[in-house]
Chains A and B, each alone.
Chain A
Amino acid sequence: MTKQNSPLRRHPIALMLTAGLLASFSAAAAWASVATTEPPLKPITINLQDKAALRNGALYTLHMCTACHSLQGTRYSSLPAMLGMSEARFKEIIGTNGHHYHDVITSSMPSSVIDAFVKMLPPDLTYIARRHSPAWLYTYLTSFYVDPSRPNGVNNVVFNNVAMPDVFAPLQGLQKPVMIEGLRYGSPARVAIGVEPLTKGSMTPAQFDRTARDIVTFLYAVAHSHEQERARLGPWIIGLFVLLSVLTYLIYRLYWRGVITSEERWWKVGK
């Protein structure tokens, strides 16, 4: 379509009128919302090539997290390749929690225990890691704080009234919240936006930070297990179609060379 043929070029006034109309509409469109003060997320970069981080993350995830949580999106047998270790080494160092090697990673908690104490199934970590960003996961893991009003005595900065206990307290130590006057669903409330250390844990802050990052890296890798395959295949497939586009464009030009197209207007329209 040439410039002369475009209806908008031929009648710029139509475009101007429409744009003017819509601009005036949207300018007045006030967006009321049910605002909640969002605490800042701690930034994190994920490196899926970092095998040491993945292994450390796998160790903590399979030894701590799967005590309650399941990781049903994956099987033990798919982990060694991802962690860059042999099957024997994986079984020796990390292990399968007594499950069969090809089993799905399920929670180690018997359902009778869930019924007796928890009354609520801890969510599966595969979809938690898919649903939330790495930054959210990292902030969540490091931002438990003491809150005597909660049944477990702790709360979380990015997950208000969380049901999960602070399983990291022995490693990280307890933390106290940094509270500000903010909004919760539109009404004023005291909102935690960060944490400060309260007691010492068995790990130094740097060690614990490393551990939390490794867990997030591992969870992200498990939940996005085809990320590397995508990155490897993508350029080839897309490249193929870019190449095909060029070739088919040349063929198209070749065939259409002799055809009088609309740009030349073989009928005349009087004004």
Chain B
Amino acid sequence: MNSKIRSWARGVFGWFDERLPISSMWRSQVSRYPAPKNFNLWYIFGSLALLVLVMQLATGLFLAIHYQPNPHLAYWSVLRGIQQDSHWGWLIRDMHIVGASAFFVLVYLHMYRGIMYGSYKKPRELLWLVGIFIYLALAAEAFLGYLLPWGQMSYWGSAVVTNFVTAVPVIGKPIATWLRGSFVVDLPTLNRFFVFHVFLMPLLLLALVLVHLIALHHVGSNNPDGVEIHDNLNETGWPRDAVPFHPYYTVKDLFAVSIFFVVFFWFVFYNPSGWGFLLDKLNYTPANILHTPADIHPLWFFLPFYAMLRGVPDKLYGIMAFAGSFVLLACLPILDRNPVRSIRYRSVLYKVNILSMAFSFLWLGLIAHGLATEHNMVYGLHVTEVFYMTFLALPFFNRERPIRTRIIWLVAAEALVWLVDVWMYSIHAHSWGLMLQTDWIPALYALLLFGLAILFPALTHDAAKLPERLTAGGILH
């Protein structure tokens, strides 16, 4: 009897398998997909981000069922309809809120992993670029969703962001009106933001994630050492430095998922507003078109970009400054052409630079968390310069530079800092005293980075005698 059921089940599965590539896909993409053996902690954030995406879609479905995209109803449909009147509404909503922030934490860590281990280098440039687009789509998704509760911060945040385009000369204002469907953020804006948030952007995100995964499985994973696993095959054609994704990484990811959920549900149950970072306290107040809050903040994951925006004393240039940071990220494969992938085998000053990239980003967030005083604006401008410099200094580390080139880089970097500041001063006359108070930050960073490179050339030396397979195919060699 038992064997009968088994053969029957095999028959049913066989019927499907002949018509859909189920078992062959499973083999090629999961159970016989080679993944490097040496993944470390940094390599779990991708699969966790995928998990959070699924969770956001699932919780979002239930929220959308109870939500009313109408300015008169939206606020209480969330605070009473979802939180009180529907079963488990409070839990699902808090999971969605904490999930949004978790998504950004994971994506930021995932991106920084890519930067540390050179995952954007040949042959993964396109994989990296698709990832940048995923980040942009995610940012748009988060921004659109933030309007829906119709709180004060939702409303005024959306008002500020939809006003960005008015910085474009002549056609800016008509475009802003077209985007909002109204002269101010109102019913048409809420309706379209709702549709984009629950339909357009999730679709786009899923498509981009699929392309990201296809590209990943085509070129294979990078790893903390930057080993090209396909360069070293055994007799059967299996990469010597790889293990099958299933079961090795499925069990590892399950462990990571369990740990993640411990932290995630701690926030959901005990700290759903995350000390006011995950959900701004002011957003508990319903949107009031006649009352502009004294300080309009984005949520924590956009704070660094907010510091860039308000640091530059001109709306259009400010928008270009923060949009430029995405361009720089997308340009990483062009900026960093050193064949060595992993930060492990890069020079000391390169490590300093990559660490400063992360620290200056966090630092910008901290500044933007402060009030919009003139001091904080100028301060933000100067730390933005440090952030930009950590990218613009990358080509310096492409090869070992002769002393003359190192001096030229130092002079050029210092000149750039001061020229930008004179330019900014000419746009809006902050007092020079205020400028100088924080101007030394980028100046000192350039001086230390390139000054140390001049004084101690050893600090710019990558690891010597690196095997060919730890490099990105020798672009320069």
Contacts from A to B (Cβ < 8 Å): 1, 5, 7-8, 10-11, 13-15, 17-18, 21-22, 24-26, 28-34, 72-75, 78, 104, 123-124, 126-127, 130-131, 225-226, 229-231, 233-234, 237-238, 241-242, 244-245, 247-249, 251-252, 255-256, 259-262, 266-267, 269-271
Contact = CB atoms under 8 A, between A and B. Distances in A.
B399 interface: no
Looking at chain B's contact residues, is the secondary structure mostly helix, strand, loop, or mixed? helix
Given A1-B41, A7-B343, A17-B348, A259 B467 contact: no
A131 B282 contact: yes
B442 to A, nearest CB: 10
17 contacts: A5-B224, A5-B344, A11-B348, A13-B459, A25-B444, A30-B375, A78-B84, A124-B286, A131-B285, A229-B90, A230-B270, A251-B251, A251-B254, A252-B251, A267-B227, A267-B470, A269-B465
A265 B31 CA distance: 25
A29 to B, nearest CB: 7
A7 B344 contact: yes
B252 interface: yes
Interface residues of B, number: 72
B170 interface: no
Given A32-B373, A241-B265, A14 B248 contact: no
Interface string B305-336: 00000000000000000000000000000000
B370 to A, nearest CB: 7
A5 B452 CA distance: 25
Given A1-B224, A74-B84, A245-B255, A22 B243 contact: no
B241 A248 contact: no
A102 to B, nearest CB: 10
Contacts of A32: 373-376
B177 interface: no
B272 to A, nearest CB: 8
Contacts of A256: 248, 251-252
B431 to A, nearest CB: 12
B271 to A, nearest CB: 10
Contact of B470 (A30, A230, A269): A269
B371 A33 contact: yes
The 5 closest A-B pairs by CB, nearest first: A262-B38, A234-B269, A270-B465, A14-B351, A245-B258
Contact of B262 (A1, A230, A245, A270): A245
Q: A5, A26, A262: which has the most chain B beta carbons within 10 Å? A: A262
Given A234-B265, A267-B467, A226 B286 contact: no
Contacts of B91: 226, 233
B80 A104 contact: yes
B437 interface: yes
A18 B247 CA distance: 39
Contact of A127 (B266, B284, B465): B284
A24 B444 contact: yes
B251 A248 contact: yes
A249 B352 CA distance: 34
Given A252-B254, A266-B241, 5 more contacts: A126-B79, A226-B90, A255-B247, A255-B248, A259-B243
Contact of A13 (B284, B345, B348, B374): B348
A259 B37 contact: yes
A196 B469 CA distance: 79
A127 B463 contact: no
A45 to B, nearest CB: 18
A123 B376 CA distance: 33
Contacts of A21: 352, 356, 444-445, 448
Interface string B208-250: 0000000000000001110100000000000001010001100
Given A1-B40, A7-B351, A255-B248, A30 B356 contact: no
Interface string B401-445: 000000000000000000000000000000000000110110011
B38 A261 contact: yes
Given A241-B262, A270-B465, A271-B463, A22 B359 contact: yes
Contacts of B285: 123, 127, 131
A158 to B, nearest CB: 15
Contacts of A26: 363
B265 A238 contact: yes
B345 A31 contact: no
Contacts of A248: 251, 254-255, 257-258
A237 B469 CA distance: 45
B261 interface: yes
B379 interface: yes
B387 to A, nearest CB: 13
B464 interface: yes
